[in-house]
Structure 1
Amino acid sequence: MNERDDLYQTREAHSADFRFDDAVARVFPDMIKRSVPGYAETVAMSGIIAGRYARDNTRLYDLGCSLGAVTLAMRHGVRARGCQVIGVDNSASMLERAAHYIALDDHSLAGDPVAVELLQADICSLTLDNASVTALNYVLQFIVLDQRLELLTRIAEATIPGGALILSEKISFEVAEQPLQDALHWDFKRANGYSEMEIARKRTAIEDYLIPEREEVHRQRLLAAGFSQVIRWYQCFNFVSFLAIR
């Protein structure tokens, strides 16, 4: 079902032409594994964090869920009763494949598994409520800059006291550090089999679409949104994960 990511061996790239279409959905597991250092750890730890912060009779949201890896990690991590995990994405192609993985998981679980619902929606206009845990992994970087605080504020307002937001992002750095972080990321891609042409074409395709920010910007915005505490719990090169507590 999943294919090797060779999209940019043949696809010409133009600035901001990257979209989560069916072609990307088909290769997404391979693409993200070979492109995002630390991705597997982020998924697994999202499940562990969900286990700590989920509360009885609350919702857990995976916003921008793509194929549902974090949705399933949270489902398996939850120990509270009466919870529901809601995966949300605006890509029908992603959700079609996510539904397949959820169905496989349903068949593999005994007893009364945590309920999972998938929604096709724009997370910037979605109504959120009674959330104990929300995951926003590698998604905020694709949101228009002037909409980011509003989205995080709505998440904070929907989060119960003591609830948590998991935020994972590609970040930018001080001018002196940025070239090394970029080089290490490209080395990671080369080590995973991407050619120089593929790396360059992918960079061109997303350079106006994925807008990273510095760590302090994320911290300040999360606090301004209404979270009381922000910690960085993981970093691998230029990808960072934060835990924000309501």
Structure 2
Amino acid sequence: TFLPADIITAFYTLQFIRPIHRQNMIQKIYNVLRQDGVFLFAEKVITHDSKLESQMIARYYNYKKMRGYTQGEIYKKREALENVLIPYSIDENNAMLKNCGFKHVEILFKWVNFTLFFARK
């Protein structure tokens, strides 16, 4: 049981919920938010433009290399997340939020394929 809330946050968690259950989770969040309540969440997102998607992946890969990760570590992490982390596009996230009843949805921050969403009830 969840108590009513003015704000709920979720950072890089929804992407690990199976797509078949994700909208149901968002609906539960919506239902416990008070009027004008805010759902603030960050997710890894995909784009349906394959060239842009490849560029974003390459940019993030380079970011990890610059931070001292080895090619093997980067590969292991990517392999571990395969079929576990299932990202949606920005449009798919927005549609899911709207379908659950959120009236106002904005993107507060975006870097490569990471996005911070703001959704008001």
TM-score, normalized by length of structure 1?
Answer: 0.48
Alignment deviations for residues 148-187 of structure 1 (CA, whole Å, 9 cap, x no partner): 0000001101100111001100000122210000001101
Q: Which residue of 83, 91, 94 maps to 1:208?
A: 83
Residues 157, 226 of structure 1: 8 Å contact kept:
no
CA contact (8 A) 1:139 1:169 kept: yes
Q: Which runs of 4+ in 1 moved over 4 A?
A: none
Whether 1:152 aligns to 2:55 is no
Amino acid at match of 2:52: E
2:36 maps to what in 1?
Answer: 162
What is the SS of the residue equivalent to 1:176?
helix
Higher Rg of the two aligned structures: 1
- The one of 89, 94, 97 aligned to 1:222: 97
> Partners of 2:39 and 2:25 in 1: how far apart?
12
Q: How does 1:1-246 map to 2 (within 5 A)?
A: 127-173=1-47, 174-246=49-121
User: SS of 2:43's equivalent?
Assistant: strand
In terms of fraction of residues, the more strand-rich structure is: 2
Separation in 1, partners of 2:90, 2:42: 11
Query: Counterparts of 2:10 and 2:105 in 1: how far apart (Å)?
Result: 14
Secondary structure of 1:193's match?
Answer: coil
The Cα RMSD (Å) is 0.7
Cα distance in 2 between the residues matched to 1:212 and 1:186: 17
For residues 100-143 of structure 1, the C-alpha deviation after alignment (integer angstroms, 9 at most, x for no partner) is xxxxxxxxxxxxxxxxxxxxxxxxxxx22211000011000000
TM-score w.r.t. structure 2 length?
A: 0.96
Q: Quick one: distance in 1 between partners of 2:51 and 2:100? A: 30
Could you say which structure has the greater relative contact order, defined with CA pairs below 8 angstroms and 6 or more residues apart? 2
**Pairs aligned (count):** 120
| Matched-pair identity in % | 28
